[in-house]
A and B are shown apart, each in its own frame.
Chain A
Amino acid sequence: MARDDGRNTLTRRRLIAGAGAAGATILAGCTSTDNDGGTTSEGLSGAIEISGSSTVFPLAEAVAEQFMKDHPQVDISVKSTGTGGGFENHFSRGRSQFNNASRQITDAEEDMCADNGIEPLELRVATDALTVVVNNEAEWIDCITVEELRQVWSADGPDTWQEINSDWPDETIERYGPADTSGTFDYFREEILGEEYNHSSDYQPTEQDNLIVQGVQGSEFAVGYFGFSYYYNNPDSVKALAIDGGDGCVDPSVETAKSGEYTPLSRPLFTYAAKGALAEEHVAEFARFYVEQSGNQELVADRVGYVPNTEAAVDEQLAALETAIEDAG
Chain B
Amino acid sequence: MDEQSTDSAFAGVSRLRGQVFAALAKGASWLGILVLAWLLFMVVVDAFGLPAASVGWYLGAAVGFGVPLLAYGAYIRRTRPELGWIAVRSTVIPPGGLVLAGALFILFLVFEPVHWLTYYTVGVLPAVAVYGHFASREDTRAPLFATAVGVIGLGLGVFVDAALPVKPMPWASLVWVLSVPAGAIIAWREATGDRRRQATIVGLTALGGVLASFVGPATIGVTPDTSVILYVAAVLPVGWYYGHVLAADRSAWPGLLAPGVAVLAIGLGITLGDLIGATGPDPVLDWQFLTSAPSTIPENAGLFPAMVGSVFIITIVALVSFVVGVGAAIYLEEYAPQTGLGGTITRIIRVNISNLAGVPSVVYGLLGLGLFVNLIGMGMGIVLVAGLTLSLLILPIVIISAQEAIRSVPEEVRQASYGMGATRWQTIRNVVLPRAVPGVLTGTILALSRAIGETAPLLMIGAATTVFRPPTGFASQVSAMPLQVFYWSFHQKSAFRELIAPAGVVTLLVVMLSMNVLAIYLRNRYEQQT
Contact = CB atoms under 8 A, between A and B. Distances in A.
Contact of A19 (B133, B203, B469): B203
B167 A233 contact: no
Given A2-B198, A12-B203, A15-B203, A33 B465 contact: no
A166 interface: no
B464 A77 contact: yes
Contact of A68 (B175, B203, B468): B468
A95 B377 CA distance: 11
A112 interface: no
Contacts of A319: none
A205 to B, nearest CB: 15
Contacts of B468: 64-65, 68, 75-76
Given A27-B169, A61-B466, A76-B468, A234 B136 contact: no
Given A15-B202, A95-B379, A209 B168 contact: no
Contact of A209 (B195, B293, B476, B490): B490
Nearest to B295: A65
B188 A1 contact: yes
A297 to B, nearest CB: 15
B296 A65 contact: yes
Contacts of A15: 199, 202-203, 206-207
A190 to B, nearest CB: 24
B184 interface: yes
A298 to B, nearest CB: 11
Interface string B185-199: 001100010011011
Contact of A3 (B132, B175, B497): B132
Contact of A90 (B133, B207, B225, B380): B380
B195 A20 contact: no
Contacts of B326: none
How many residues of A sit at the interface, in one of the four size bands?
35 or more
B184 A32 contact: no
B465 A31 contact: no
A35 interface: yes
Nearest to A230: B492
A210 B136 CA distance: 67
A61 B198 CA distance: 55
A320 interface: no
A78 interface: yes
Interface in B190-245: 192, 195-196, 198-199, 202-203, 206-207, 210, 223-225
A212 to B, nearest CB: 11
Contacts of A3: 132, 136
Nearest to A226: B492
How many residues of B sit at the interface, in one of the four size bands?
35 or more
B524 interface: no
Nearest to B179: A19
A22 interface: yes
Interface in A3-37: 3-5, 7-8, 11-12, 15-16, 18-20, 22-24, 27, 30-35
Contacts of B167: 31-33
B180 interface: yes
Contacts of A305: 492
A8 B196 CA distance: 7
A304 interface: yes
A329 B180 CA distance: 52
A62 interface: yes
Identify the interface centre among A22, A32, A35, A81: most chain B CB within 10 Å of its CB.
A35
Nearest to A75: B469
Given A65-B295, A78-B466, A7 B180 contact: no
B375 to A, nearest CB: 14
Contact of B297 (A51, A80, A303): A303
Contacts of B210: 19, 22-23
B286 interface: no
A234 B133 CA distance: 70
B169 A31 contact: yes
A39 interface: no
Given A3-B132, A208-B490, A234-B494, 5 more contacts: A15-B206, A19-B210, A76-B467, A230-B492, A303-B297
Which 6 A-B pairs have CB atoms at the shortest separation, nearest pair first? A15-B203, A77-B464, A77-B477, A8-B195, A11-B199, A3-B136
Interface of A: 1-5, 7-8, 11-12, 15-16, 18-20, 22-24, 27, 30-35, 47, 49, 51, 57-58, 61-62, 64-65, 68, 72, 75-81, 89-90, 95, 208-210, 229-230, 232-234, 303-305
13 contacts: A2-B192, A4-B133, A15-B202, A16-B180, A27-B169, A34-B170, A75-B468, A76-B468, A77-B467, A78-B467, A79-B464, A209-B492, A233-B493
